Structure 1
Amino acid sequence: MSRLRMIFEKRDFACFVRHVELPQLFGRIARRAGLKVALTQGMSPHPHIVMGPALPVGVISLCEAAEIWFDENVPPEEALEKMNAQAPTGFRFLRAARIAPDAMSLNKCFDAASYWLCPRDMDKLAAVKSVLSEEFGAETLLALRECGDGLELVMHDPSQTGPGALVKALIAREAISGWPEVCIARLRLGRWRADKGEIAPLL
């Protein structure tokens, strides 16, 4: 058995696939690629696939994480090539690495994520930036800066303070009226390095 950690992206219509559907989808991709995914133990075995922090439907991502257990010893490069050949449009597996079976669980390996956020009305950019700075303390909003076409921000604990929390705060402060008024994408996922002011990647 081998445990592979994989970094993937979801763009275009792939962002409309619900997070809870991803393990089943990845299991199908692996089967079509000729790779046998191990099953969990218990009363109702299912493919042994663990996903990283969830994103709301409609949010694209350049950096998502998953761990897949295979019955056989699968080289990471082979898994990448075969699964990319079978992946639906919008999904692309970027990197893979073998992880020790007893290593730390995936969801304990990250504590931060970065996002690109842009209001569709750029006249609201300053107000959006101000609200985010005021609503989230320094322990949660680790970094915030303007980039060429919006804001780039780093949030602590992406399982709890993801895009949903950002949009909720902006709506509450009337900076926007709803999701259609803002574009958000996840850029990176990993561990925050305060000494360098950046996220150390998972792979």
Structure 2
Amino acid sequence: MSRIRILFEKRGLFVFVNHMDLPVVFSRAARRAGLVQEFTQGFSPHPRISLAPPLAIGVEGLAEPADFWFEQWNSEAARRWSEALPGGLKILKWAEVDGVSLAKLAEAALYRVRGASAPFGEKEAAALAEEAGRINALLDCRVEDGSVLLAVRDLEHCGAGLFVKALAAAGLCSGWGGLRMERLAVGGWDEEKRSVVPLV
């Protein structure tokens, strides 16, 4: 049995598909590609899958990690599986892994937050940094090309919804409709480089 970690992107209309529905989408595509997944034990077995911390609906994920267990695996299997996925989902990279679980490794995320109709700058960065800092989740915050790049930890409590509330409370956006948000990476945190290290 092979444990395969992928990095995938979730874009376009697929950003409106709930995180909890992704295992079904990936498993159906795997079956169409002729792949055999390992199933959990117990009363209600289901394909063994481990996803990164949830991505909010409406937020693009550009390098989302996930673990899957297959009976057999090779580069041809990866190609077939990626081709069987619906538009908006795409496998970018894969690696056969073992050891520590994905949930323990996914300790940080990097977001890009920008305005839907105007660039973001220091005011928006300050509001986001203050809110992430309030719950001790802030790792890094900077302005780049009209966007705020925000690196955070504690991914269960610090995510897109918190960012929208902080900006709206500061009068810097009207809500979700006034923003464009992407999660650029999920992984470990390299303090020296001040960057999120991908898990594949």
Q: Could you tell me the TM-score, scaled by structure 2's length?
A: 0.93
Q: Could you tell me the TM-score, scaled by structure 1's length?
A: 0.92
> In structure 2, what is the equivalent of residue 99 of structure 1?
97
53-62 or 170-179, which moves further after superposition?
A: 170-179
Q: How does 1:9-28 map to 2 (within 5 A)?
A: 9-28=9-28
Residue among 85, 88, 91 paired with 1:90: 88
Q: Deviations 1:124-177 (Å, cap 9, x if unpaired)?
A: 644312211322329422111111131111111223211111112222333222
Distance apart, 1:4 and its partner CA: 0.6
Write out the 4+ residue segments of structure 1 that deviate beyond 3 Å after TM superposition. Answer: 123-126
> In structure 2, what is the equivalent of residue 146 of structure 1?
143
Count residues with an aligned counterpart.
199
Distance apart, 1:123 and its partner CA: 6.3
Q: CA distance change for structure 1 residues 80 and 149 in 2, over 3 Å: closer, same or farther? A: farther
In the alignment, structure 2 segments of 5+ residues that lack a partner are none
> In structure 2, what is the equivalent of residue 118 of structure 1?
114
The answer to whether the aligner puts 1:174 opposite 2:198 as a matched pair is no
In the alignment, structure 1 segments of 5+ residues that lack a partner are none
Q: Is the 8 A contact 2:9 2:63 kept in 1?
A: yes
> In structure 1, what is the equivalent of residue 158 of structure 2?
161
**Secondary structure of the structure 2 residue equivalent to 1:158:** coil
The percentage of aligned residue pairs carrying the same residue is: 39
Letter in 2 for 1:82: R
Distance 2:141 2:26 in 1: 34
